Structure 1
Amino acid sequence: MKITSIKLVFTLAILTIITSCNNKYSKIEKANWFIGDWENASDEGSFREIWTKKNDSIYSGLSIVVIEQDTVFYENVSLEQKNDSVFYNVSVKGQNKDEAISFYLTSSDNDKLVFENPNHDYPSKITYSKVTKDSIVAEIFGLKDGKKITESFPMNRK
């Protein structure tokens, strides 16, 4: 009887270790759907985001705005899972001493990710929503000159 109990405890311990190892990066994996090349092209210009999976805990992104062959805006973005938290890190050359600003993943499901940084004026909230497998919408929210502003960036897979 005692040997059976020991085997049961040992088996449960092994299963717990395997399960926790397999779920180590489960939060960032909810963002797998926006890995790819996304674009919104119009007569005014092109907004583009390119996302790649760097490793199990970091996704690397690039946002670019091009108007008439000129890059007018460029930012580096990363999603990074540290322990149980996921961060959306944004850096723009010439802003914030070239340091990244971090937004914390506050909610997520299979079709939407919400990142927030209440200490940052604009944006203070960034969302990504999957419309279809080939269509997403990024939105930014916050205060600009004391007014609530929302900007929406619909994109299609390129």
Structure 2
Amino acid sequence: MKRIYLYALILFLVGFYSNVKAQKDSSKTFSFVLGSWGMQTPKGKIVEQWKQNPDKTLSGKSYRINAKGDSLLTETLQIRKIGKDVFYCSTVAHQNEGKEVCFKLISTKDQIYIFENVAHDFPQRIVYQNQGKNEMLAWIEGELKGKSRKSEFRYKRQ
């Protein structure tokens, strides 16, 4: 029985350490998102582009490109520290009265980074998974009108 508690304590401390490490230097932790990522959909292409700013924050843009090649900016993004915590902040075109919505980093396990804002209507969680040099999986999830929802974005480096 003592071993079970010891293993549980070790797992907790490892998880806590990795979360603390991500909070200390988010620009290194999230460097895998830097660059341009694309995903083909039936309606066209979704592109997400990230860069590192001089102040160590990360800035991104997401836009859609239709079959004619016209692009439409859908949101601007940032990963930055606010106080001691790391946040993923998004400003979505024509939503939230143009105001930024931030999601707090709550987990950094197995190259999966979970940001959460339980007060937001949908999504409540935004997740990024580092799948190597040329692939990245992102998804949004939560409840909308009492039903669980999830949308995945399987990006390839461009």
TM-score by length of 2: 0.77
- Is the Cα–Cα contact under 8 Å of residues 127 and 139 in structure 1 kept in the other structure? yes
The aligned counterpart of 1:39 is: 38
Instruction: List runs of 5+ in structure 1 lacking aligned partners.
Output: 1-22
Deviation per residue, 1:113-140 (Å, 9 max, x gap): 1100000121000000011211000100
Alignment-derived partner of residue 133 in structure 1: 133
- 8 Å CA contact 1:30–1:109 kept in 2: the answer is no
Same amino acid, percent of matched pairs: 26
Q: Could you say which residue in structure 1 is the equivalent of 2:116?
A: 116
Give the aligned partner of residue 100 of structure 1.
100
The structure that has the greater radius of gyration is 1
User: Structure 1: how far apart are the matches of 2:83 and 2:145?
Assistant: 36
- How far, CA to CA, are the matches of 1:82 and 1:102 in structure 2? 10
- Residue 65 of structure 2 aligns to a residue whose secondary structure is strand
Q: 1:25, 1:57 within 8 Å by CA — same for their partners in 2? A: no
TM-score by length of 1: 0.77
**2:73–2:93 contact (8 Å) kept in structure 1:** no
Q: Which runs of 5+ in 2 are unaligned?
A: 1-21
Deviation per CA, 1:80-110, whole angstroms, max 9, x where unpaired? Answer: 1134211111002321121100000001146
Q: Counterparts of 1:112 and 1:85 in 2: how far apart (Å)?
A: 17
What secondary structure is seen at the aligned counterpart in 2 of 1:97? helix
* 1:64-95, Cα deviation, whole Å (9 max, x unpaired): 12222333551001011134211111002321
Aligned pair count reads 136
Supply the distance in 2 between the matched residues of 1:70 and 1:143 (Cα, whole angstroms). Answer: 32
Q: Relative to 1, partners in 2 of residues 1:147 and 1:71: Cα closer, same or farther, differing over 3 Å?
A: farther
Range moving further from structure 2, 93-102 or 70-79: 70-79
